[in-house]
């Protein structure tokens, strides 16, 4: 009898032991960060459209590059939307236009050799519309292509969007001589212009009372999509934007695929998702006058109040040529950023300043975390492979105590042939702002000055070689 009881107890203990072992194995098999890409992609649905088509020629557009066709294009978009959606066709030819406002369930499709050539007359971009300008809410000139509160939209095709910005129209508003500005000309630097908008932000003036536009010299974005979702931007070429090129704000489920950007003007960032969620940027080419891709989430008080991070963002198989940074977070990042994945990209140009860049300061607040970068090939960058700067713009903006946090930044399998620094990291004195930075299985060659790391801790190197020497920290 006792022997039988002992057998039962033994079997019971064995079952309990196996249960505990399996639980332990289950815990050990938790998903790695890269495993979550599949879940993010499942949430990014490209829009579907009915088979209805609307050719802008049927609405009065003229393909001679001179006759204003904006009214015809917008009428085609509105009619398409009214009838339940479909595709608005821009056929081959050059169409001169003012701002285009997208509506739900519309695919604006540019056929091969189709060009939308945009006006450079600021008056054509009135009335004002709600937007965010450098992370600050306001009403400003209409962007060249704009939406607010729509869903299921697309801008596709092998055609071209030509912004026509140059040193004799939009770009001098930057206030720099290299972009056509001359002494005595107005610019965004005038006290009543950009500084006034920053003051509105700090003093919490209601957004509807921040009326910019004429006399303020704040250039419009090329594509600015607000509060919109289920978006596809695919295959188009974009040239010479007045300001930021693609700027989604408070958007969800966005795919930017196969686009080609050549825009070397001031603040000509390529793609700036701001406070947006579930974003895929793939197979794109960036040749820009500022950051190729820059993730944003609002500037100072506006960003802190909205508290909406940019999150669940995938960048892959892209080519970054000229620009201030390849993939950048900041500087308008007060709402934070998280779950950022970058892989299989090429970054290469003596005019590309950094590969991966994070920029913020003590007026921003916000947490930047969980950024994962792997399999990036860097031919040449001017400054650094990884640049983290928590003192960005502080000389102009002044210091504060809204300290940001930068943590859990992972670089793996990165190869670079030439740069001034490997890592160039600057935190904030006596503040634990930058920590948990991991660089693994990487080779940085042609590095002039090694690493420079200040006011940061928990920096981890594993199989990191700089100029052939294994690094420790």
- Catalytic center residues: 290, 324
At 399, list the tokens: 């210091």
Strand partners, 146: 101, 224
CA 106 to chain centre: 23
Are the CB atoms for 77 and 100 separated by under 8 Å?
A: yes
Hey, what are 268's tokens? Answer: 């000509």
Query: SS3 for the chain, per residue?
Result: CHHHHHHHHHHHHHHHHHHHHHHHHHHHCCCCHHHHHHHHHHCCCCCCCCCCEEEHHHHCCCCEEEEECHHHHHHHHHHHHHCCCEEEEECCEEEEECCEECCCCEEEEECCCEEEEECCCHHHHCCCEEEEECCEEEEECCCCEEEECCEEEEEEECCEEECCCCCCCCHHHHCCHHHCCCCCCCCCCCCCCHHHHHHHHHHCCCHHHCECCCCCCCCCCCEEEECCEEEEEECCEEECCCCCCEEEECCEEEEEECCEEEECCCCCCCECCECCEEEEEECCEEEECCCCEEEECECHHHHHHHCCCEEEEEEECCEECCECCCEEECCCECCCEEEEEEECCEECCCCECEEEEEECCCCCCCEEEEEEEEEEEECCCCCEEEEEECCCCHHHHCCCCCCCEEEEEEEEEEEECCECEEEEEECCCCCCCEEEEEEEEEEECCECCCCEEECCEEEEEEEEEECCEECCC
Q: Does residue 463 have a cis peptide bond before it, meaning omega lies within 30 degrees of 0?
A: no
438 has which bridge partners? Answer: 410, 460
CA 368 to chain CA mean position, Å = 14
What are 27's two structure tokens? 């815990």
Omega of the bond prior to 21 within 30 degrees of 0, cis?
Answer: no
- Do residues 459 and 426 lie in contact, with contact meaning Cβ atoms separated by under 8 Å? no
Cα angle vertex 253, ends 251, 259, to 5°? 95
């Amino acid at each position: 009898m006792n022997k039988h009881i002992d057998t039962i107890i033994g079997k019971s203990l064995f079952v309990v032991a196996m249960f505990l072992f399996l639980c332990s194995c289950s815990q050990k098999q938790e998903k790695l960060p890269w495993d979550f890409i599949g879940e993010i992609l499942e949430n990014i649905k490209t829009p579907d459209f009915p088979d209805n088509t609307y050719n802008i020629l049927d609405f009065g557009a003229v393909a001679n590059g001179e006759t204003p066709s904006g009214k015809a294009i917008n009428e085609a978009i509105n009619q398409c939307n009214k009838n339940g959606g479909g595709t608005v066709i821009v056929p081959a030819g050059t169409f001169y236009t003012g701002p285009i406002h997208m509506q739900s369930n519309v695919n604006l499709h540019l056929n091969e050799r189709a060009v939308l050539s945009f006006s450079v007359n600021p008056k054509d971009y009135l009335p004002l519309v709600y937007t965010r300008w450098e992370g600050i809410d306001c009403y400003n000139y209409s962007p060249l292509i704009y939406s607010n509160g729509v869903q299921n939209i697309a801008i596709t095709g092998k055609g071209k969007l030509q912004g026509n910005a140059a040193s004799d129209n939009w770009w001098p508003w930057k206030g720099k001589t290299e972009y056509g500005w001359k002494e005595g000309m107005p610019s965004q630097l005038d006290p009543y212009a950009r500084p006034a908008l920053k003051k509105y932000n700090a003093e919490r003036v209601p957004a509807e009372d921040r009326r910019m536009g004429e006399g303020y010299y704040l250039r419009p974005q090329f594509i600015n999509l607000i509060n919109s979702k289920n978006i596809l931007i695919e295959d188009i070429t974009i040239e010479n934007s007045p300001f930021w090129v693609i700027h989604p704000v408070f958007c969800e489920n966005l795919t930017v695929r196969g686009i080609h950007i050549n825009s070397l003007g001031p603040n000509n960032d390529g793609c700036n998702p701001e406070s947006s969620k579930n974003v895929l940027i793939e197979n794109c080419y960036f040749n820009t006058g500022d950051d190729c891709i820059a993730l944003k989430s609002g500037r100072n008080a506006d960003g802190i109040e909205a508290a909406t991070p940019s999150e669940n963002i995938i960048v892959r198989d892209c080519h970054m040529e000229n620009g201030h940074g390849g993939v950048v977070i900041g500087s308008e990042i007060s709402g934070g950023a998280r779950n950022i994945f970058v892989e299989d990209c090429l970054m290469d140009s003596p005019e590309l300043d950094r590969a991966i860049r994070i920029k913020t300061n003590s007026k921003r607040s916000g947490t930047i975390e969980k950024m994962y970068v792997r399999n990036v090939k860097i031919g040449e960058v001017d400054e650094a492979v990884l640049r983290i700067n928590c003192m960005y713009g502080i000389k102009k903006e002044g210091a504060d105590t809204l300290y940001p946090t930068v943590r859990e930044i992972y670089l793996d399998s990165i190869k670079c042939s030439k740069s001034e620094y490997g890592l160039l990291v600057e935190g904030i004195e006596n503040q634990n702002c930058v920590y948990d930075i991991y660089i693994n299985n990487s080779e940085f060659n042609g590095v002039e000055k090694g690493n420079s790391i200040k006011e940061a801790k928990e920096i981890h190197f594993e199989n990191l070689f700089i100029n052939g020497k294994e690094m420790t920290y």
